[in-house]
């Protein structure tokens, strides 16, 4: 078989995320992937839904935990900041930090589009389910994308009094505590409050801990005195979630508020090696000089460690503690006019601040070979302050009839952003405690951005017969972008661009049997262009062709869903560093082919077997770049980053018969496999040194996790759950981030094996 499904489809999973142990087979999963409640098996698109119980059993507590669980999805963090994630889905990579650039994967919280990927790195405080739609989106979801959409759906208050307390402790002093209070319904109102705290230490020691860099004067107060942390890879997060639900006949209102306060240090970056004379001309502007600096360190008292193995301790005097603060309000009003017609409005305001409080990429204690004796030196230092606020409104009309289903709407989105990003190369630092001064060329970016998007969309399904459905959708999008620059060489340059695009999709689905559906889909996606440092780049487009089926078999003891797809990807927006500057260009044209399969098997009472499979073949047909100074076509020579050819996830879970008290044991083992990939934000040019190519490549891996629990133990009027859990049980150490800093190849490794205990109390 192609696979025994992802954990999405665990036995007895229902829309509320509860589990059934009555042995009657697989229950329906209700999703809103098409903006109305439907059985997952009736949705003719590739979608994965993870409910709250699945996330809890797999100990997935943040968005990065989704990597490997969903076919052809990878979620990583960037080497420049612990608060910036990278998403890759079906070969489309989303992780842009610059506010003038959109992401090809749409990220949503309760159907509210998140304009910046940094705003999505929230810990899962009270998520009811996660829906991942693969392929271009636009005719249903608020924002147009080329790769797909990930929608985090929070829990609606149940209207009954209840308390839940979770406490978990594990290796690296990992502590996670979550408190949830549900208030009883009163006058049509019900409410829930949730608070979550999570912290853990880093797994690499910082040998330069305690060093202070004073950036107050150089940054006009944007940054102050930054102190190097003790460990690298640490996190400390506080998250708060509040929800209020009101219902009065056909009218409902939902207000939701979320707040995340994150502090953390990026994993330890170390030097893997340097480009050589056999590499592409122009690809190694600083590598030779850095090697010279390293060669001088033994005589100056510094270090010159170059290693492709994970180090337990490095020097990083420049890396402070990154901070992220993000919060948002949303108000969803809905009115059911009659049995067939519904009107909904989603109004939201969100705000985020991201501080990347300094980092370097060499992991060494360096002295300036040309400076004053004892002057500390850095190949590259980087800071950034990114502020963003957004407002969005989406109005939808939904019609559900016997012959026709229709969803139409209007979408408005506006964001304002302020980015300040000094990145000094070859910095000689004054004695510790004295103020640091920047040079004019050290200002990497400094601008205000304003982005506005409007769209109208509609999608309808005609039920030709009880078995045959035909769906068509259209979306017209208008994008306006403005950049006001404050960089010294572009001072007060005011740039404006605008784009518009009509996208569409057509779907035909047919029920071969009552429980088996086949479908075919053709759709287009569009990602707006932009302007960065006064240089315009164009939109990218993708046309996707998909054929799939969904079926329940053997009295609903086996569920198998699969899809085969191909896509033409044009005008890929790619970025690179040139002369210390970030440049965007439309360099690429690619053909993507792939397969995805998910299923679940419940052969006996309490036993569930799960797996998912993702295969992808990403081939550049054109890759003309100016990265080396002259146009060069590298099609066939570069590898798409963050895109493994194979992902596979499998799990076995078993629940014993409940005892007379109602308590039972629950066991789960899950293995997530992925093949080789290059974990980088930007595409890395070909390397002549085969050993260095291997060093920047993350080898194939099996990430194994397990959990054993004693569930529903009576305690007074409540119930208790005791668990032990483990992650990365095989202790696989793989390259987690890679960067090419103008010829200096650096990287960091993933977290080692972790394990711990957890208890949950419900009342």
> What is the total residue count of the chain?
763
User: What is the spatial distance between Cα 691 and Cα 506, in angstroms, rounded to a whole number?
Assistant: 47
**Please, what is the average pLDDT of the chain?**
90
Give the per-residue pLDDT at 13. 35
CA-nearest of 704, 699, 703 to 738 is 699
pLDDT of residue 1 exceeding 70 = no
User: What is the spatial distance between Cα 285 and Cα 270, in angstroms, rounded to a whole number?
Assistant: 19
Q: Which of 440-444, 467-471, 635-639 has the highest mean pLDDT?
A: 467-471
pLDDT of residue 246 exceeding 90 = yes
User: What is the spatial distance between Cα 640 and Cα 506, in angstroms, rounded to a whole number?
Assistant: 28
pLDDT of residue 125 exceeding 70 = no
pLDDT of residue 464 exceeding 50 = yes
Q: Confidence class of residue 118 from pLDDT cuts 50, 70 and 90? A: low
The structure tokens 């705290």 sit at 197
The Cβ of residue 401 has, within 10 Å, a number of other Cβ atoms equal to 11
What is the chain's Cα-based Rg? Answer: 26
pLDDT of residue 582 exceeding 80 = no
Give the per-residue pLDDT at 597. 96
What's the average model confidence in pLDDT over 439-465?
93
What's the average model confidence in pLDDT over 586-596?
92
What's the average model confidence in pLDDT over 607-636?
89
Helix, strand, coil % over all residues of the chain, rounded to 5: 5, 60, 35
pLDDT tens per residue, range 45-55: 888 888 888 88
User: What is the spatial distance between Cα 132 and Cα 81, in angstroms, rounded to a whole number?
Assistant: 25
Helix (H) or strand (E) holding 646: strand 646-655
Whether the CA torsion 140, 143, 144, 149 is positive or negative: it is: negative
CA-nearest of 724, 722, 703 to 714 is 722
Contact 156, 245 (CB under 8 A): yes
Under 8 Å CB-to-CB from 211, ≥6 apart: which residues? 227, 228, 317, 432
Q: Which residues pair with 544 in a beta bridge?
A: 523, 567
What's the average model confidence in pLDDT over 735-753?
93
Contact 99, 387 (CB under 8 A): no
Give the per-residue pLDDT at 34. 67
Instruction: Give me 93's structure tokens.
Output: 């990579």
For the chain, the distance separating the N- and C-terminal CA atoms, rounded to the nearest angstrom, is: 43
Under 8 Å CB-to-CB from 28, ≥6 apart: which residues? 14, 15, 39, 40, 41
pLDDT of residue 407 exceeding 70 = yes
Contact 168, 485 (CB under 8 A): no
Under 8 Å CB-to-CB from 173, ≥6 apart: which residues? 199, 200, 201
Q: How would DSSP label each residue in 275-340?
A: --TTSPTTS-SSHHHHHHHHHHHHHHT------SS--SEE--SS---EEEEEEEEEEEEEEE-SSS
Give the per-residue pLDDT at 580. 58
Contact 87, 79 (CB under 8 A): no
What's the average model confidence in pLDDT over 728-754?
94
Q: Confidence class of residue 35 from pLDDT cuts 50, 70 and 90? A: low
Give the per-residue pLDDT at 604. 93
What's the average model confidence in pLDDT over 686-696?
94
Q: What phi, psi does 608 have (nearest 5°)?
A: -135, 130
Give the per-residue pLDDT at 683. 87
Q: Confidence class of residue 546 from pLDDT cuts 50, 70 and 90? A: very high
What's the average model confidence in pLDDT over 197-204?
95
Q: Which residues of 714-739 are buried (b: 16+ CB within 10 A; e: fewer)?
A: eeeeebbbebebbbbbeebbbbbbbb
Q: What is the DSSP letter of 371?
A: S
**Strand intervals (E) in 118-224:** 127-134, 148-154, 162-170, 174-186, 189-200, 204-206, 212-214
pLDDT of residue 68 exceeding 90 = no
* Centroid of chain to Cα 241: 20
pLDDT of residue 22 exceeding 80 = no
Give the per-residue pLDDT at 18. 33
User: What is the spatial distance between Cα 40 and Cα 42, in angstroms, rounded to a whole number?
Assistant: 5
Query: CA neighbours within 13 Å on the CB side: how many for 318?
Result: 31
* Backbone region of residue 711 per phi and psi (left: phi > 0; alpha: psi in -120 to 50; beta: other values): beta
Contact 485, 491 (CB under 8 A): yes
Domain 7-762: give its CATH code: 2.40.170.20
The Cβ of residue 292 has, within 10 Å, a number of other Cβ atoms equal to 10
In the three-class reduction of DSSP (H, G, I as helix; E, B as strand; rest coil), residue 167 is classed as strand
What's the average model confidence in pLDDT over 512-540?
93
Instruction: Give me 406's structure tokens.
Output: 């229709």
Give the per-residue pLDDT at 11. 32
Give the per-residue pLDDT at 746. 95
Give the per-residue pLDDT at 101. 86
Give the per-residue pLDDT at 122. 60
Give the per-residue pLDDT at 7. 35
CA-nearest of 311, 302, 424, 309 to 364 is 302
Is residue 431 packed enough to be buried (19+ CB in 10 Å), middle (13-18) or exposed (0-12)?
A: exposed
Q: What phi, psi does 68 have (nearest 5°)?
A: 90, -25
User: What is the spatial distance between Cα 708 and Cα 667, in angstroms, rounded to a whole number?
Assistant: 5
The Cβ of residue 168 has, within 10 Å, a number of other Cβ atoms equal to 19
User: What is the spatial distance between Cα 339 and Cα 644, in angstroms, rounded to a whole number?
Assistant: 46
Q: What is the DSSP letter of 71?
A: T
CA-nearest of 103, 64, 60 to 85 is 64
Q: Confidence class of residue 282 from pLDDT cuts 50, 70 and 90? A: confident
Of 241 and 128, more confident: 241
What's the average model confidence in pLDDT over 414-441?
91
Q: Range with the lowest mean pLDDT among 85-99, 361-375, 411-425, 704-718? A: 85-99
CA-nearest of 398, 559, 516, 601 to 42 is 516
pLDDT of residue 371 exceeding 90 = no
Contact 756, 722 (CB under 8 A): no
Beta sheet of 204-206, edge-to-edge order: 231-232, 204-206, 313-314
Q: Confidence class of residue 344 from pLDDT cuts 50, 70 and 90? A: very high
């Amino acid at each position: 078989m192609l696979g025994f499904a992802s954990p999405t489809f665990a036995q007895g999973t229902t829309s509320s995320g509860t589990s059934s142990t009555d042995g009657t087979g697989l229950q329906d999963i209700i999703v809103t992937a098409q903006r109305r409640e439907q059985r997952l098996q009736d949705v003719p698109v590739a979608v994965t839904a993870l409910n709250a119980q699945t996330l809890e059993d797999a100990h997935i507590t943040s968005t990065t935990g989704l990597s490997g669980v969903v076919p052809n999805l990878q979620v990583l963090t960037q080497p420049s900041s612990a608060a910036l994630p990278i998403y890759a889905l079906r070969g489309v990579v989303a992780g842009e930090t610059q506010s003038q650039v959109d992401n090809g994967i749409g990220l949503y919280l309760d159907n509210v589009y998140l304009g910046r990927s940094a705003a999505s790195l929230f810990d899962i405080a009270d998520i009811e389910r996660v829906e991942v739609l693969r392929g271009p989106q636009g005719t249903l979801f608020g924002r147009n994308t080329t790769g797909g959409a990930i929608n985090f759906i929070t829990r609606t208050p149940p209207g009954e009094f209840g308390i839940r307390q979770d406490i978990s402790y594990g290796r690296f002093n990992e502590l996670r505590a979550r408190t949830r209070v549900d208030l009883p319904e009163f006058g049509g109102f019900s409410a829930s409050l949730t608070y979550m705290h999570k912290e853990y230490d880093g797994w690499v020691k910082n040998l330069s801990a305690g060093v202070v860099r004073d950036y107050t004067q150089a940054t006009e107060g944007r940054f102050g005195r930054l102190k190097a942390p003790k460990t690298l890879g640490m996190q400390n997060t506080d998250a708060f979630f509040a929800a209020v639900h009101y219902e009065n006949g056909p009218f409902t209102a939902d207000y939701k508020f979320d707040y995340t306060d994150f502090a953390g240090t990026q994993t330890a970056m170390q030097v893997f090696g340097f480009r050589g004379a056999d590499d592409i001309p122009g690809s190694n502007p600083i590598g030779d000089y850095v090697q010279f600096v390293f060669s001088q360190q033994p005589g100056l008292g510094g270090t010159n460690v170059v290693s492709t193995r994970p180090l337990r301790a490095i020097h990083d005097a420049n890396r402070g503690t990154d901070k992220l603060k993000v919060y948002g309000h949303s108000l969803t009003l809905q009115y059911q006019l009659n049995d067939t017609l519904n009107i909904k409005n989603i109004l939201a305001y969100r705000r985020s601040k991201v501080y990347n409080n300094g980092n370097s990429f060499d992991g060494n204690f360096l002295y300036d070979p040309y400076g004053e004796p004892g002057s500390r030196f850095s190949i590259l230092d980087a800071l950034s302050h990114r502020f963003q606020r957004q407002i969005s409104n989406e109005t939808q009309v939904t019609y559900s009839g016997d012959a026709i289903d229709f969803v139409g709407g209007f979408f408005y989105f506006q964001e304002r952003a302020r980015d300040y990003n000094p990145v000094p190369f070859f910095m000689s630092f004054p004695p510790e405690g004295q103020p640091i001064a920047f040079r004019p060329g050290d200002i990497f970016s400094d601008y205000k951005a304003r982005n506005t998007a409007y769209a109208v969309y509609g999608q309808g399904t005609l039920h030709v017969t009880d078995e045959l459905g035909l769906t068509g959708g259209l979306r017209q999008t208008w994008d306006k972008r403005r950049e006001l620059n404050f960089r010294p060489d572009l001072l007060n340059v005011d740039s404006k661009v605008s784009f518009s695009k009509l996208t569409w999709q057509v779907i035909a689905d047919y029920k071969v049997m009552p429980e088996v559906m086949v479908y075919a889909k053709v759709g287009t996606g569009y990602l707006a262009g932009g302007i960065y440092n006064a240089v315009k780049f164009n939109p990218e487009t993708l046309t996707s062709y998909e054929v799939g089926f969904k079926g329940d078999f053997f009295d609903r003891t086996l569920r198998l869903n699969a899809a085969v797809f191909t896509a033409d990807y044009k005008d890929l927006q790619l970025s690179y560093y040139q002369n210390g500057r970030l440049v965007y260009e439309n360099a690429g044209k690619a053909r993507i082919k792939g397969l995805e399969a998910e299923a679940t098997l419940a052969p006996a009472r309490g036993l569930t077997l799960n797996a998912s499979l993702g295969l992808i073949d990403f081939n550049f047909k054109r890759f003309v770049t100016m990265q080396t100074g002259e146009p060069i076509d590298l099609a066939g020579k570069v590898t798409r980053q963050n895109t493994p050819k194979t992902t596979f996830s499998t799990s076995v879970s078993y629940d014993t018969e409940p005892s007379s008290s109602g308590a039972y044991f629950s066991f789960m083992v899950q293995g997530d496999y992925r093949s080789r990939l290059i974990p980088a934000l930007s595409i890395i040019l070909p390397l002549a040194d085969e050993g260095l190519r291997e060093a920047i490549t993350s080898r194939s891996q099996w990430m194994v996790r397990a959990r054993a629990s004693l569930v529903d133990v009576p305690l007074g009027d409540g119930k208790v759950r005791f668990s032990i859990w483990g992650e990365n049980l095989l202790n696989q150490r793989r390259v987690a981030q890679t960067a090419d800093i103008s010829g200096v190849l650096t990287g960091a490794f993933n977290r080692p094996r972790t394990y711990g205990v957890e208890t949950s109390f419900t009342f």
